[in-house]
Structure 1
Amino acid sequence: MSQDPTTDDLELDIDELQTKLARVREEVGRRLVGQQRVLDDLLACVLADGNALLESNPGLAKTLTVRTLANVTDLDFSRVQNTPDLMPSDITGTEIIREGEGGSRDFVFEQGPIFANVVLADEINRATPKTQAALLEAMEEGQVTAAGETHALPDPFFVMATQNPIEQEGTYRLPEAQMDRFLLKILVDYPSLDEELAVVDRYTGRVDEAIPVEQVLSREELLDAQTLTREVPIADDIRERAVELVRETREADHIEYGASPRASMALVVTAKARALIEGRAYVSEDDIERMAKPVLRHRVVVDFRAERDGMTPDDAVDELL
C-alpha cells in the first residue's frame, strides 16, 4: 500500500470533497433507485478504506450498486462468483509456464480477479472455508502470496462481499475472524412501493444501452479523500462514547461475545466519513449512533436465551444505545 500523504500534499480540501461526494450520490442515483442508506454506508466504507459485507435476498441491485460506485470513482471492478468448487488460486492467481524465445520456458504469475480496486465477492458464503481464507490476507494486508512470492494489490483496494441470509443449503458459515475483517455489514432491504414502481418504469422500457454515469472522483482524489476523512475532528466526549459503546458489548448479559478494539476504531473512522457525506467537517453524536449497527451487527453474538426470545444483534445494539 502506498504511503499516506500529508494534508499539505493533498489536491482536495474538505469543501471540495463534500461537493464531489454529493455528485457521487447523484451520479449513482442515475442507475440506482432508492437504497440511499446502502449507498451512504458503502461510501463511508470506501472513505474509511475498509471492506463491506452486504446481506440481502437476491435481486436487490447489490452488484449494480457496487459496479456503479466503482465507475463513478474511476476504480477497476472485478466480480468473483463464489461456488463450492472455487479454488483459492481461482481468486488470487497462479503460476503458469510461458514459452519464450528460443524455446525457453519460464514460470509467470498470472493474476487472478483479486487484482482490482473493487472486488465483488458474490455469495461469499458459498465458497469453502479454504477459499474464504484466501481473501483474509488480501483484505487485511492488501497483498497476496503465491508460490512463496508476495504480490501487492492495487491501491486503493476493497472487497465488497455479498451473502444471502435465507438460503443455507450448500453454504459455509463465515468464521468470526473473517467477519471481523469487514469494516461494515450492510443490510439491503426491499424497496418501497414508489421505488419499486420507479425501478419497473426505468428498466422495462426500451433500453438501448446501460444508463451512462460520469466519473466524479479520480483514484488519486479518492486516496486524498481517505486521508481527509481521518483528519475530521471529533470531540473527546463523542470519541469516549464510541469506545464505551463497544466496551459495553463485552459486558452486557445478553451478549455472548462482544466486539474488539477494532470495532472502536471502525466506529470512529466511519463516523468521520459519515460527517463528510452529510456535509459537515466535524463528528456529531448522531454519526456514532447511525454507524453503530453497521459496525457492530457482525461483531457481536447474542446468547442462546436472547436468540430464543427473538433478539437480533441490531436489537442488542439498540438496547445499548
Structure 2
Amino acid sequence: MPDEAIFQRRFQQVSRNIDDFIRGKPRQVHLALVCLFAQGHLLIEDVPGVAKTSLAKAIAQSVAGTTVKRIQFTPDLLPSDVTGVHVFDQAGGRFEFRQGPAFANILLGDEINRASPKTQSALLEVMAERQVTVDGEPRPVPFPFLCIATQNPLEHQGTFALPEAQLDRFMMRITIGYPAGLDEEVAVIADGIARRTPEELRSVMELDDLRLMIQAVQELHVSPELQRYVATITRATRNHPDVKLGVSPRGSIALANAAQAYAISMGRSFVTADDVKSVATPVLNHRLLLTAEARIQKQSAEEIVEEILASAPVPRAPGRV
C-alpha cells in the first residue's frame, strides 16, 4: 500500500495529466480526484459547453484497465436502460440477464437531470450499496464503482430536479465555470482547432493502483477531535435559520472521507481542520435545502456553509499518530 509521499506523487501525476486537457482549472481537478480516491460519486453542475463531460472522460481515461460506461440521459430513458434486463435466449430456451451500463468501474452519466425522476431513481441503489437488484436478485457491480454525473442548471429547459435522496448520494457537487482568463480561453480554442479529445490522454495509473490508493484513504487517521469537528459542522446546518433540511449523517461521513483523501493528497498521514474546511463546501452545498425566505433573499448554500465554518470551534491539535 502506498505511503503518503507515494500517494501524493501518484495523485499529482494524474492531476497533471488531466490539467493538460482541462485548462486553468486546477482546483476543480483536485477536488474531482479527491472524490475519486475517497470512493465517492461526483456531480458536475454548470452551463453547457464548459467541459463537464470532458473532465469526467479525462478522469476515466487516466486510469488504465477500468471498465467505463456512459449513459446519455434523455426524457425517454428507462430504468432498465441503466440497470439491465432479462431477455429470452431462444437458442438456450431460458432467460439471460444482460447487464446495463451500471456494471462498470466508472459510470459517466451525462446530463443526468434530463431523465425522468423514475429513471434517475434507478441509480439510488447502486450508488449507495454498489449493487443492482433486478427481478428480486441483487447483483454486485465491479469494485471500485464510481459515478461521475453532469447536469445543467435547473433553469434550463428540459430538466428535472434531482430528488434529495439522489443528491445525498453524491459526495461532491462542483462547478467548472468559464475560463478564468484570456490565455486559458485561447488555449481551449487551440485545443478545439486541433480537435483534441479526452480519449487522446494517456493512462497514468492502473486499476490496481486505484484500488490501493482508495484503501490508503480509508485507513488514514482521523482523530476523535476531528470527528467531533465534522459533526459540529454538519449538525449546525440542521439548526441554521435559513436551512429547511440540513446535512444527513451520510453527509457527515462523506465530509470525513473527503477530508481523508484531501489530507493524503497533500502528503499527510492524518486529517487536520484545514483539510475539512478545504472540502466542506463542495461536499455540503448540494445537501442543504434552503427556506423560501432564504431563496427570496438570494441566499446561497455556499454562503451558509462558509458562515458555519467561520463560527465552528476548531480543534487545537490535528491528532497525529
Distance 2:290 2:199 in 1: 43
Could you say which residue in structure 2 is the equivalent of 1:250? 238
Could you say which residue in structure 2 is the equivalent of 1:27? 17
Amino acid paired to 2:300: T
Maintained 8 Å contact 2:7/2:265: no
Could you say which residue in structure 2 is the equivalent of 1:7? none
**Aligned partner (choices 188, 213, 217) of residue 199 of structure 1:** 188
Maintained 8 Å contact 2:63/2:204: yes
TM-superposed deviation, 1:191? 1.2
Do structure 1's residue 133 and structure 2's residue 121 form an aligned pair? yes
Could you say which residue in structure 1 is the equivalent of 2:101? 113
Could you say which residue in structure 1 is the equivalent of 2:297? 309
Cα pair distance change 1:211/1:84, threshold 3 Å: closer
Cα pair distance change 1:226/1:64, threshold 3 Å: same
Do structure 1's residue 77 and structure 2's residue 65 form an aligned pair? no
Maintained 8 Å contact 1:144/1:153: yes
Distance 2:142 2:224 in 1: 35
- 1:33-52 equivalence runs, <5 A: 33-52=23-42
- 1:292-307 equivalence runs, <5 A: 292-307=280-295
Could you say which residue in structure 2 is the equivalent of 1:159? 147
Distance 1:116 1:137 in 2: 14
TM-superposed deviation, 1:208? 8.0
Distance 1:275 1:289 in 2: 11
Maintained 8 Å contact 1:30/1:211: no
Maintained 8 Å contact 2:44/2:174: yes
Question: Secondary structure, in 3 states, of the residue corresponding to 1:159?
Answer: strand
Paired residue total: 307
TM-superposed deviation, 1:111? 1.2
| Deviations 1:247-290, CA, capped at 9 Å, x for gaps | 10111112111111111111111011111222322222221111
Give TM-score scaled by structure 1 length.
0.90
Distance 1:98 1:260 in 2: 45
TM-superposed deviation, 1:210? 6.3
| Deviations 1:118-160, CA, capped at 9 Å, x for gaps | 1111111111111111111111111112223222211110111
TM-superposed deviation, 1:166? 4.7
Question: Secondary structure, in 3 states, of the residue corresponding to 1:188?
Answer: coil
Amino acid paired to 2:139: H
Cα pair distance change 1:19/1:210, threshold 3 Å: closer
Maintained 8 Å contact 2:39/2:214: yes
Amino acid paired to 1:58: P
**Aligned partner (choices 56, 68, 73) of residue 58 of structure 2:** 68
| Deviations 1:55-97, CA, capped at 9 Å, x for gaps | 0001111111111111212222211111111101111111112
Could you say which residue in structure 2 is the equivalent of 1:291? 279
Question: Secondary structure, in 3 states, of the residue corresponding to 2:287?
Answer: coil
Maintained 8 Å contact 2:230/2:276: yes
- 1:79-98 equivalence runs, <5 A: 79-98=70-89
Which runs of 5 or more structure 2 residues have no equivalent in the other structure? 310-321
- 1:226-241 equivalence runs, <5 A: 226-241=214-229
Cα pair distance change 1:270/1:119, threshold 3 Å: same
When structure 1 is superposed on structure 2, of 33-42 and 308-317 the one drifting more is 33-42
Cα pair distance change 1:15/1:290, threshold 3 Å: same
Amino acid paired to 1:78: K
Could you say which residue in structure 2 is the equivalent of 1:15? 5
Question: Secondary structure, in 3 states, of the residue corresponding to 1:85?
Answer: coil
Which runs of 5 or more structure 1 residues have no equivalent in the other structure? 1-9
Maintained 8 Å contact 2:105/2:143: yes
Do structure 1's residue 213 and structure 2's residue 201 form an aligned pair? yes
Maintained 8 Å contact 1:31/1:211: no
RMSD, aligned CA: 1.8
